[in-house]
Amino acid sequence: MARDSIPGRSLALGTTVTLVTLLVLIPLAVVGLTAGGMSGERLSAALLSPRALAAFRLTFGASLAAAALDVVLGTYVAWILVHYRFAGRPLLDALVDIPLALPTAVTGIALATLYSAHGWAGRVLEAHGLHVAYTALGVGLALAFVGFPFVVRTVQPVLATLPVDLDEAAASLGADRSTTIVRVTLPLLVPSMLAGFALALARALGEYGSVIFISGNMPLRTEIVPLLIVTRLEEFDYQGAAAIATVLLLASFGLLLAINTLQRRLTVARSGT
């Protein structure tokens, strides 16, 4: 019913397909084609070496953990920004976007300086036996930092437009504050939290600049997939670089597709009831 209620569907579809092809599909296809010419043996050497596997584990593990942390922190900050009025709120609101504006190398150098053994935060943490800089934890931290704004910015507008009468209805039916949050508010937020999670995850999987400064880049331990790609390029091994990039792309695409599908189902289910 909704399908043709607005005119210009084929024109819109045409421009969209053209733009997506030019901006996304062609560059991606070139990457895939470059890798496509490799023999099976070289392909498995490039992708299945212990070093490559360790890098894939680290990149996907740290990215998922960072995105999950971002969902918790981001939703919390969005909650505060929407529900409370306090001095400096506009300032906090603007600060949230800073990780997007900072050049990633600046982020990486700042984090490494802060969390290394002699750094301001690192000194305190190391005293408690917690090593952040040059460990997988540091990789996760950098990824959480760059992904954080995505969750805040997807949850915040949804939270701001939630109808107050739902809260009031819940309260009138005898729900206390925490029950209202858990049973009424949070379920309504889940689609936007998932969207934020997907964006933060996508950003984390490809992140290079901010991570290499704090990761220490040790093979098998703290080497991320994008660094492996750069290493292959350094060796003028474009095919090897493209093979790793293709796997990263396909896996990312699969994850994002799954999350987006889940999010759409949830949204449809909600609006249906």
Angle between helices 50-83 and 40-48 (to 10 degrees): 50
Residues in the chain: 273
Residue among 137, 139, 212, 259 that touches another protein (CB under 8 A): 212
Angle between helices 120-127 and 104-115 (to 10 degrees): 40
**Rounded Cα distance, 24 and 83, in Å:** 39
Question: Binding of another protein at residue 233 (CB under 8 A)?
Answer: yes
Question: Binding of another protein at residue 227 (CB under 8 A)?
Answer: yes
Residue among 47, 79, 237, 266 that touches another protein (CB under 8 A): 237
CA dist 228 to 24, 127, 212, 245, 257, Å? 22, 33, 11, 9, 25
Cβ neighbours of 24 (radius 10 Å):
10
Cβ distance to another protein smaller for residue 51 or 177 = 51
Q: Report the C-alpha dihedral over residues 29, 30, 33, 35, rounded to 10 degrees.
A: -110
User: How many residues touch another protein (CB under 8 A)?
Assistant: 37
Per-residue contact string for residues 17-36; x = within reach of another protein by CB under 8 A: ----------x--xx-xx-x
Stretch binding another protein (CB under 8 A), from 64-72, 154-162, 173-181, 229-237: 229-237
Cβ distance to another protein smaller for residue 78 or 133 = 133
Cβ neighbours of 134 (radius 10 Å):
21
Residues within window 83-142 making contact with another protein, judged by CB under 8 A: 109, 112-113, 116-119, 134
Binding interface with another protein (CB under 8 A): 27, 30-31, 33-34, 36-37, 45, 50-51, 109, 112-113, 116-119, 134, 212-213, 216-220, 227, 230-238, 240, 242
